[in-house]
Amino acid sequence: MKPKYIAIAAVTLDGKIAKSKNHMSDWTSKEDKDFLHKMLDKCDVVLVGNNTYKTAVEPLSKRNCIVLTGKIKKPLQKSKNLLYINPKATNLGRLIAKKKYRRVAILGGTQTYSYCLENNLLDEIYLTIEPLVFGKGINLFESQKFIEYKFKLASIKKLNSNGTLLLHYKKFKG
Ligand SMILES: NC(=O)c1ccc[n+]([C@@H]2O[C@H](COP(=O)([O-])OP(=O)(O)OC[C@H]3O[C@@H](n4cnc5c(N)ncnc54)[C@H](OP(=O)(O)O)[C@@H]3O)[C@@H](O)[C@H]2O)c1
C-alpha cells in the first residue's frame, strides 16, 4: 500500500509558521501541542528539515526521524531511529516505501513542506490556525515558481475558547 504523507503545521493568521528559522514553536496553544503529539504517535516516522530538527532534538529523539539535509551525499544513520538523507542524492519516496512506513508525518519547516508538496509527497494537511499575527516571518510554503495544488477541506474543529482552529485538508482528486 502507498504510504500516506501527512503534513502537520501551525500557522498564524498571517500564514507564518515562525518568526525566523531558529524560532522555537513555543507560541502555539496547549491544545495544538496535544494534537501534534497524538498525531505523531499515530505515524511511523517523522520527516523533518535540519533547521526544524535542531529546534526539537530532545522531543524528537524517541521517534523514528528522517532529517533532510543538503550537506551529505549518502544516507547517514546517526542512531537506531535517526536517519539523515539528502533528497537530491537519495530517492525519498523509494526509501520510505522500502522501510515499509505507512504513515509519514511531515513536520516542516518551510523548505521541507515545500519539497514534499512539489514532489507529490503530500496527501493531507492538518493546519492549526492560531489567532495571532507575526507581521513578518517564515511562510508555510515557499516556492521558486508559481505553483497551484488543490486541497479539499475534510474537517474543521475549534480547539479552544480563543478560537484556535484545526483544519484538515486532503489532496483534491477532481
Ligand atoms: N509552526 C509550525 O508548525 C512549524 C513546523 C515546523 C517548523 N517550524 C519552524 O520553521 C523554522 C525552520 O524552517 P526552515 O524553512 O528553515 O525549514 P526546514 O525544512 O526545517 O530546514 C531547512 C533545512 O533542511 C534541509 N532541507 C530541507 N529541504 C531540503 C531539500 N529538499 N534538500 C536538501 N536539504 C533540505 C537543509 O538543511 P542543511 O542546511 O543541513 O542542508 C535546509 O537548510 C523553525 O523556526 C521551526 O520552528 C514551524
CA distance 171 to 52: 24
For residue 18, CA distances in Å to 21, 23, 26, 92, 141 come to: 7, 6, 10, 26, 12
Stretch 132-160: mean pLDDT:
96
What's the predicted TM-score (pTM) here? 0.97
Q: Is 90 in the pocket of ligand 1 (CB under 6 A)?
A: no
How sure is the predictor about 8, in pLDDT bands with cuts at 50, 70 and 90?
very high
CB distance 111 to 49 below 8 Å? yes
Q: What is the pLDDT of residues 95-131, one digit of tens each?
A: 999 999 999 999 999 999 999 999 999 999 999 999 9
pLDDT digits (tens, 9 = 90+) for 29-73: 999 999 999 999 999 999 999 999 999 999 999 999 999 999 999
Distance 101 CA to ligand 1 centre (A): 22
Q: What is the pLDDT of residue 174?
A: 79
Q: Kindly give, in sequence order, each residue whose CB lies less than 8 Å from that of residue 96, ignoring residues fewer than 6 positions away.
A: 3, 45, 66, 104
Q: Which pLDDT score, from 0 to 100, does residue 123 have?
A: 98
Q: What is the mean pLDDT of the chain?
A: 96
Task: Please name the residues in contact with 151: beta carbons below 8 A apart, sequence gap of 6 or more.
Answer: 125, 169, 170, 171, 172
Query: At residue 140, does pLDDT exceed 90?
Result: yes
**CA nearest to 2, candidates 66, 107, 93, 83:** 93
Residue nearest atom 31 of ligand 1, based on CA coordinates: 115
Q: What is the pLDDT of residue 136?
A: 97
Distance between CA 12 and CA 78 in Å, rounded?
A: 34
pLDDT at 27 over 90: yes
18 lines ligand 1 (CB under 6 A): yes
Please state, for a pLDDT cut of 90, what percent of the chain lies above it. Answer: 93
Q: 51 C-alpha vs ligand 1 centroid, how far in Å?
A: 4
pLDDT of 25 higher than 90: no
pLDDT of 24 reads 86
Å from CA of 161 to ligand 1 middle: 31
Whole-number Å distance, alpha carbon 165 to ligand 1 midpoint, is 24
